[in-house]
Structure 1
Amino acid sequence: MRSTGPAGRAAGWLAAWGWYGLAGLACLALLAINDGPLFYFDTGGYLAQGRSMFNVLGLLPGSSTAPGAAETAHAISADGTVVASRSATYALFLMGLYQTLGLGAVPMVQSALLILSVYLAVRVIARLHAPGLDVPRTTALAVLAGCLGAAPFYTAYLMPDIFAPVLILSAALLAVAAPALRGWELLLTLGLGIFAVTTHPSHAGIATLMVPAAAVLGALFRIRRFWIGVALIALIALAAAAERAAFSLTVKSVARADVTYKPFLTARLIEDGPGWAYLTETCPDPGLESCALREAIDGQPQRMYASDILYSTDEAHGSLARMPLEQQKRIAAEQARFAELVVKSHPFGVAAAVLRNSARQLVHISVAMTLPVDEMGARVAALTGYLPAALAHARLTEIPAWLGWLDAAHGALYLASAAALAALTALPGSALPAALRVLALMVVAGIVANAGICGALSQPADRYGARVLFLLPLTAALLWIVSRRRRVVDAFGSREG
């Protein structure tokens, strides 16, 4: 019998925080192995943007002369525009922690937010579907299962990718339990979801696709008042649009500049084929700014890649980035119209490309892109004008010998976890109620949505696949523990009856 006196409560608190501490240590494994956070070249872009925003808002002492003040000027192009393809939310998050606690604190905060999202799901499941479930232990074991996959690489990564799984977990919980959440649980879950969705443009697409998934699954499995969860997930998706609008308004009113975006859709459609076919058929057309790309690319295979279209400035590979800034702005402003024209002209070609790229994204599972290889430190310094001390001693600056077998182990783990989830949710005699089956299916829907958004609209990349696939072992472990607990409760209930 468990003691309920002061000593028993103290032991319970120690045990609980011991489990949470174990989960936290697992999440920080790569921080220790690398002797600092993992980072990408665009970490420098977020730091530069964050410093620019802090300077504009007067949050840095001596803004006009502070180190990095030049970034404020360079954030605004010569034509008076700000490229807003990076998240202002994550830039402020990263710079805020850098200025207050140092970059070494970022993996700790990111780990804490991931653990919090799992904890919220576990405590609600325990209350509604598994009385007596040990919440701290179950939370920790689920997180540890995720850490057997890619989780510790992304909690230590100074990029917003870890918030894609946080978003998916938050949306999945709202889909199955929104009406039953207590006030503070609802506020925390919504807060996590809204913060996560604003940390990267791709997260808005994931949230948007999870809205119909929640509606269909809620109706099929007859989840009680499922429409509340659907509405709240839609609210999270709308928060991304609100963040973009607020950023644009701030730039226009404070920095007196216009906001523009890179024409990712245009570049993607050209690389996939339908966009190039449309340009070949239509151009020259004075009413279509994107025809300038037809001439610049000139059918050269090495210029067809989306990343080269958007960023390359050398003569052999460059096209868009070599054009005058005003022309780049016009092509970027036209990308939604261009995409619509291409879809109408080549619907089957676009559909095939979307399916092909989504499928390719699902099998991109390596954590290689989280490692600071290829002179990543120098590339960060080129964007910021300095290399933060926390990044200067990175150990994983070359592809390690163990990466190949680790990727293979992760692949086997994800396949086994997918099979376990299928067995837990689909086989006859499952101990899981409909709501928990929907939870699992919502996580899978989020993973598929991630593949569709990142693979089809951006480009298939290991970084985007591995960031969410660790949710498979995490969710499988969680639901297996819950299933065992429910069987125990049912067995004791039957004996008592």
Structure 2
Amino acid sequence: MLGKIGKTGFGPTLYATMSTMILALALLWPSFINGEPFYMPDTPSYIRAADAGVYKLTGIESAWTNEFHDRYAAGSDETPTSDEDVKAEPSNSIENGPVALAGRSVFYGAFLYLAQIFGNFWLVAVIQSLIVGIAIMLTIKAFVPEGTRGAGVMRILSIGLLVVFLSSAAFFSGFLMPDIFAGLGLLSFVHLAAFWDRQGRAERLFWFGLLLAAMLFHNTNVLITVSLLALVILGNITKFLQAGWRPVLVVVTSILLSFGGQSVFYWGVTKYSGNAPVMPPFLAARVIDDGPGYKYLEKHCGTEDLKFCRVLDFKVINHDQLLWSKEKDAGFFQALPNRERREVAATEKAFVLDVFLEYPVEVLVASFRGFGTQLVTFNLPNFNYNDKQIAQYQDKIPGRYFDAQKQSAAYKNTMPTSFWEISTFIVSAAALLFLVIFIFRSFKHSGRLSKPAVFSILIVVGIFANAAICGALSGPKGRYQMRLVWVLPLAAASMLPYRQTRMKAAEPTE
């Protein structure tokens, strides 16, 4: 029999707490070796967005407020080139105001901002590791037979520590980005859908809150959740994958709340800046880099005034460079004045649709290629900083934080990552094979999917959905895969004792 969580809590407090604390401490090992949690060039943007909101509402300044003053004091980063320009386009006009990006969560930024009040970001790594430790403990515990408390502790620690030290989970637990919440959001959905009827109130609230946080922290988590929700609804209707309707209602509620949170963010930015947040034109960059968008521009730019035509003069076509390069001969978004950036973003949907209608096969082939490449991309390049990243950190991170960063292993490019790139691939591939075989045998044996099989199929579909979304929309990157693929070995290892118990129970007695 599967383990059953207590009706008002996580079960026996002592071994649950002890297991969780040991796992959380173990998850900090990469941060300990590095000397601090890990940055990414986007990390300062998250913090500064939250800092700007705090300063605007309260007047409280921090070490990160200088950029707010630099960008907003004059109301524009554009300089008129003539007297006529001054008359036609006032430098402090709303249209020329700074661009707030919609792709970076102010909610995760607030989390980082609150943590830095203590002078560093260790609190972020500790809290994230603690949450991951709880999620690992609850996942393993869900398959521990009742009445095996001592064995439960050993099982949780043996399986949990293998996941910690052989997968990518520990790296992302100490990463100052919302990436770890992709895996946590997937686990949250799967637990709610597969094990709702065996959970107590406290565990349901934990998974619900974690799923909501994941969707508030990053838009791709919303897309993954919606994809899985569609599968569960279809499974409930067809009786193929019966998860029940109460978890569906709970997940829909969390999705609506995440939309509400994003709406509040949009309202606040629009109210205080006069302009709504702008979503960078990721899809436009993707179809141009893949080829169909570039072919479309070559064909139509001679007769149509398209905002993306300037890329035909670029020497290099690269998705990230198109979006984030500040050189006008290399980028079509970050390199432009604020007003033009808004105009480019506003035309993206029409442009991408036109490209798809003219080159549907090429777009689909490129998307499928990105999906396949994402599935097999296992690397950790973000945990050793290259020269370009260091230059960005020096420009974006306040002095005392940058001085501390210079002492880190990642800054010195000595952080060990190769072993975990290989081990994550091996344990994930083995886990995927195990789960697929388990799903097949479960269905073949009974003609329907058991709860553990529902759990398994949702994990697998979630991994594939992530690869499809990230590989097609943003392009394959090891970070997108490694941030949540650790749930595969966690799921498989957690289920292995359950499968062995079932096999023994099925053996005939003499």
TM-score by length of 1: 0.85
1:378 offset after TM fit, Å?
Answer: 4.7
Match of 1:189 among 192, 207, 214: 207
TM-aligned CA distance change 1:166 to 1:268, over 3 Å: same
CA contact (8 A) 2:180 2:483 kept: yes
Aligned amino acid, residue 208 of structure 1: V
In structure 2, C-alpha distance between the alignment counterparts of 1:406 and 1:225, rounded to whole Å:
35
The 10-residue stretch of structure 1 (164-173 or 403-412) with the greater mean CA deviation from structure 2: 403-412
In structure 2, C-alpha distance between the alignment counterparts of 1:211 and 1:97, rounded to whole Å:
33
* Matches for 1:114-125 after TM superposition, within 5 Å: 114-125=132-143
Partner of 2:114: 96
In structure 1, C-alpha distance between the alignment counterparts of 2:409 and 2:415, rounded to whole Å:
13
Q: Give SS of 1:226's match.
A: coil
Aligned amino acid, residue 175 of structure 1: A
Partner of 1:483: 499
Higher helix share: 1
Q: Give SS of 2:42's match.
A: helix
The 10-residue stretch of structure 1 (151-160 or 306-315) with the greater mean CA deviation from structure 2: 306-315
Aligned amino acid, residue 56 of structure 1: K
CA contact (8 A) 1:365 1:407 kept: yes
TM-aligned CA distance change 1:14 to 1:392, over 3 Å: farther
In structure 2, C-alpha distance between the alignment counterparts of 1:430 and 1:481, rounded to whole Å:
19
In structure 1, C-alpha distance between the alignment counterparts of 2:197 and 2:313, rounded to whole Å:
56
In structure 2, C-alpha distance between the alignment counterparts of 1:420 and 1:224, rounded to whole Å:
22
**Which structure 1 segments of 5+ residues have no match?**
1-11
1:154 offset after TM fit, Å?
Answer: 0.4
* Matches for 1:218-237 after TM superposition, within 5 Å: 218=236, 222-224=240-242, 226-237=244-255
* Matches for 1:449-464 after TM superposition, within 5 Å: 449-464=465-480
* Structural RMSD (CA): 2.9
TM-aligned CA distance change 1:228 to 1:284, over 3 Å: farther
What is the percent sequence identity of the aligned residues?
A: 23
CA contact (8 A) 2:456 2:491 kept: yes
In structure 1, C-alpha distance between the alignment counterparts of 2:20 and 2:122, rounded to whole Å:
20
Residue 307 of structure 2 corresponds to residue 292 of structure 1: yes
CA contact (8 A) 2:307 2:347 kept: no
Q: Give SS of 1:82's match.
A: coil
TM-aligned CA distance change 1:141 to 1:425, over 3 Å: farther
In structure 1, C-alpha distance between the alignment counterparts of 2:370 and 2:212, rounded to whole Å:
27
TM-aligned CA distance change 1:40 to 1:385, over 3 Å: same
Partner of 1:436: 452
Aligned amino acid, residue 279 of structure 1: L
* Matches for 1:215-364 after TM superposition, within 5 Å: 215-218=233-236, 222-224=240-242, 226-284=244-302, 291-294=306-309, 296-298=310-312, 300-302=314-316, 304-314=317-327, 316-364=329-377
Partner of 1:467: 483
1:230 offset after TM fit, Å?
Answer: 3.3
In structure 2, C-alpha distance between the alignment counterparts of 1:255 and 1:242, rounded to whole Å:
20
In the comparison of the two structures, how many residue pairs are matched? 471
Partner of 2:177: 159
CA contact (8 A) 2:232 2:241 kept: no
Partner of 1:132: 147
The 10-residue stretch of structure 1 (396-405 or 246-255) with the greater mean CA deviation from structure 2: 396-405
TM-aligned CA distance change 1:17 to 1:373, over 3 Å: farther
TM-aligned CA distance change 1:414 to 1:401, over 3 Å: same
In structure 2, C-alpha distance between the alignment counterparts of 1:268 and 1:279, rounded to whole Å:
14
TM-aligned CA distance change 1:218 to 1:372, over 3 Å: farther
1:121 offset after TM fit, Å?
Answer: 3.9
Partner of 2:93: none
1:144 offset after TM fit, Å?
Answer: 2.2
TM-score by length of 2: 0.83
Partner of 1:213: 231
Partner of 1:41: 41
Aligned amino acid, residue 70 of structure 1: N
1:225 offset after TM fit, Å?
Answer: 5.3
1:443 offset after TM fit, Å?
Answer: 1.0
Match of 1:409 among 423, 436, 451: 423
CA contact (8 A) 1:56 1:255 kept: no
Aligned amino acid, residue 19 of structure 1: S
The 10-residue stretch of structure 1 (481-490 or 359-368) with the greater mean CA deviation from structure 2: 481-490
Q: Give SS of 1:83's match.
A: coil
Partner of 1:67: 63
CA contact (8 A) 1:52 1:75 kept: no
1:176 offset after TM fit, Å?
Answer: 1.5
In structure 2, C-alpha distance between the alignment counterparts of 1:173 and 1:446, rounded to whole Å:
13
CA contact (8 A) 2:428 2:489 kept: yes
Q: Give SS of 2:334's match.
A: helix
1:268 offset after TM fit, Å?
Answer: 0.9
Q: Give SS of 2:179's match.
A: helix
CA contact (8 A) 2:284 2:293 kept: yes
TM-aligned CA distance change 1:300 to 1:381, over 3 Å: closer
Aligned amino acid, residue 25 of structure 1: L
1:224 offset after TM fit, Å?
Answer: 4.5
Partner of 1:7: none
Residue 446 of structure 2 corresponds to residue 396 of structure 1: no
1:478 offset after TM fit, Å?
Answer: 0.7
* Matches for 1:101-112 after TM superposition, within 5 Å: 102-112=120-130
